[in-house]
Structure 1
Amino acid sequence: DKVNLERATSLSSPLGGHIVTGDVDGVGRISRIDKRVGETVMQIEFLPHLARYIVNQGRVSLDGVSLTVADCRASNFTVHLIPFTLNNTTLGQKKGGNLLNLEVDIISKYIEKMIQSQSGSGSRIDRGFLKAMGY
């Protein structure tokens, strides 16, 4: 089977997309493919536990290909694929019903963890703190 590979980004290089780790978060299923002039729109169904990480204009990786989410619904999202992407990745050979490895943006998972670790710890801002700061 063919796979999508890209050179690793060095820390001194500009980041031109989003961070793709290669760690699969789930599987998506292609529910629709619309071929249009100059692009192909692919609709992907995903499992509910990933919904909180997928947002409009956010980033996902499908079979290792970094893409922008065009439209996100409760259980599916769409991506727009340009001819270069279709011709230079395995996504050009996919058909409706095919399964894809789905990776969500790692930054959103880090943010979620930071928020969860702070919830329940209580705020460090109280009357004493405000008074000490001159309020």
Structure 2
Amino acid sequence: MFTGIVEELGTVAAIEDQGDALRLTVRATTALDGTRLGDSISVNGCCLTVAAIEGDTWTADLMQETLDRTSLKGATPGDRVNLERAMTPEQRLGGHIVQGHVDGVGVVVRRDPSEHWDVVEVSLPAELARYVVPKGSITVDGVSLTVVGVGPDSFTVSLIPETLARTTLGTRAPGDRVNLETDVIARHVEKLLTPYLPGAPA
């Protein structure tokens, strides 16, 4: 489990294409502090298991499901990535409850910079739209954000200077793909209530 508060911008050091899988090696500092084999690290919002540690790099295996459902399939050496270690019980929940299980991929539609923040519009896959509401939480590339507005096929967020400086969202341009995770609480509520809605099977 994560909070969506990015700890560090890491760098993709190497990628080994294994056909139906990838071995991803990331260079990091903070994310490796206290990290052991088997620990979880969020990379652009995708929970990955540490399979190897060597010096200032760590490696994870990405199976086909991960490649199909996230933007990590297009990662290349030199890319900057948002990193967050799994939270511990004594941590403050500074963002919101994030599982690191990417629901889908959106595309940056536009960004409107201002003096103190940027407003960014991101496309929203139709199957995720019902979980996104104004003032609700959404995770974009592993960053916990508050939704500003929601359209039929997109949503907007405002990025403060701290987010612009410390995450990849500061450089995402129109056309860039981003990982999206909707609020897990909304999905559980829907699952529990669906059988009791009018027209539901007995």
1:32 to 96, 100, 110: 110
1:115 aligns to what SS in structure 2?
Answer: helix
Identity among equivalent positions (%) equals 45
Cα deviation, residue 14, structure 1? 3.4
Question: Which has a greater percent of strand?
Answer: 2
How high is the TM-score relative to the length of structure 2?
0.57
Q: Which residue of 1 aligns with 2:156?
A: 78
How high is the TM-score relative to the length of structure 1?
0.83
Q: Which residue of 2 aligns with 1:59?
A: 137
1:69 aligns to what SS in structure 2?
Answer: strand
Cα deviation, residue 121, structure 1? 7.8
1:11 to 85, 89, 95: 89
> Is residue 2 of structure 1 aligned with residue 80 of structure 2?
yes
CA distance in 1, matches of 2:127, 2:165: 32
- How large is the RMSD of aligned CA atoms in angstroms? 1.6
CA distance in 1, matches of 2:138, 2:180: 7
CA distance in 1, matches of 2:184, 2:172: 25
Deviations 1:47-89 (A, max 9, x none): 1111100000011111111100011111111000011101100
CA distance in 2, matches of 1:88, 1:33: 17
CA distance in 2, matches of 1:16, 1:117: 34
CA distance in 1, matches of 2:150, 2:107: 14
CA distance in 1, matches of 2:150, 2:182: 13
| CA radius of gyration, larger in | 1
Question: Which has a greater percent of helix?
Answer: 1
Mapping 1:99-114, distance limit 5 Å:
99-114=177-192
CA distance in 2, matches of 1:62, 1:45: 11
Aligned length: 122
Q: Which amino acid aligns with 2:154?
A: N
In structure 1, runs of 5+ residues without a counterpart are 123-135
2:127 to 28, 40, 49: 49
Q: Which residue of 1 aligns with 2:146?
A: 68
CA distance in 1, matches of 2:108, 2:201: 42
2:189 aligns to what SS in structure 1?
Answer: helix
